[in-house]
Amino acid sequence: MSHSERYLSFRCPRWRELPELELYMDQVLCILEKNLGLFGEETDSKKEDDGQKTSVVITPTMINNYVKNKLIPPPEKKRYSRLHLAYLHIICVGKRILSMSEIKAVLDILLDEYTPEEAYDLFCDEIEGALRHTFGGEFLSAGDGSLSSAHIVLSALANAFSFKMYAQNTISEVRPAVTEENPKQKEKNKEKEKNKKNSEK
């Protein structure tokens, strides 16, 4: 399956599909990686010598920062609820295009008009629709002019996100070699080139 096809077939689990049981941090990370792995950001591998890139959706440090900055409520006895998971799905997408304060504003706007369940399910609908429109040319409804302010904000976020994903996907397909070289690998390559020139003398 091509990357574009993966974006087109992406489906975000709805509120009722999120685990009801409270989860520990490592379980939360696994669920978010499974559900949003397609949107992970590349980072250098922890292995110093392999020069590989790995894709990361979220880290424990990020989640702790979201709690500290009051984007999500603190966990109870180190356990995270369905509400936390819903917030974190929205935050993981939002952080690709918005600042932390802007994400907090989006969450506040949504919760002014919707219940957490309604807001999260609407987020899922909007992200899936935006990706189908951007990657598949599916008709994007302009609505009937009666969308709430929160719905308009969410639609704007979803479309901005999908266009960013489309731009990055297109760049990597057209010029895959443009990806940034790991600094340590770059240094090794320079050293190899230098040794090669010396051996040719």
The pLDDT assigned to 175 comes to 80
**pLDDT of 63-75, one tens digit each?**
999 999 999 999 9
The pLDDT assigned to 40 comes to 87
* Three-state secondary structure readout of the chain: CCHHHHHHCCCCCCHHHCCCCCECHHHHHHHHHHHHHHHCEEEECCCCCCCCEEEECCCHHHHHHHHHCCCCCCCECCEECHHHHHHHHHHHHHCCCCCHHHHHHHHHHHHHHCCHHHHHHHHHHHHHHHHHHHHHCCCCCCCCCCCCHHHHHHHHHHHHHHHHHHHHHHHHHHCHHHCCCCHHHHHHHHHHHHHHHHHHC
The pLDDT assigned to 190 comes to 65
Backbone angles phi, psi at 120, to 5 degrees: -65, -45
**pLDDT of 130-181, one tens digit each?**
999 999 987 666 555 678 999 999 999 999 999 999 998 888 888 866 555 5
**pLDDT of 7-19, one tens digit each?**
999 999 999 999 9
**195 has pLDDT over 80:** no
The pLDDT assigned to 42 comes to 72
pTM above 0.75, yes or no: yes
Backbone angles phi, psi at 24, to 5 degrees: -85, 165
CA separation for the pair 123, 110 (Å, rounded): 10
The pLDDT assigned to 105 comes to 97
- Token code pair at residue 94: 């939002």
Q: In residues, how long is the chain? A: 201
Higher-confidence position of 109 and 140: 109
For residue 54, the cross-strand partners are 43
**pLDDT of 42-65, one tens digit each?**
765 454 445 555 679 999 999 999
Mean pLDDT value across the chain? 86
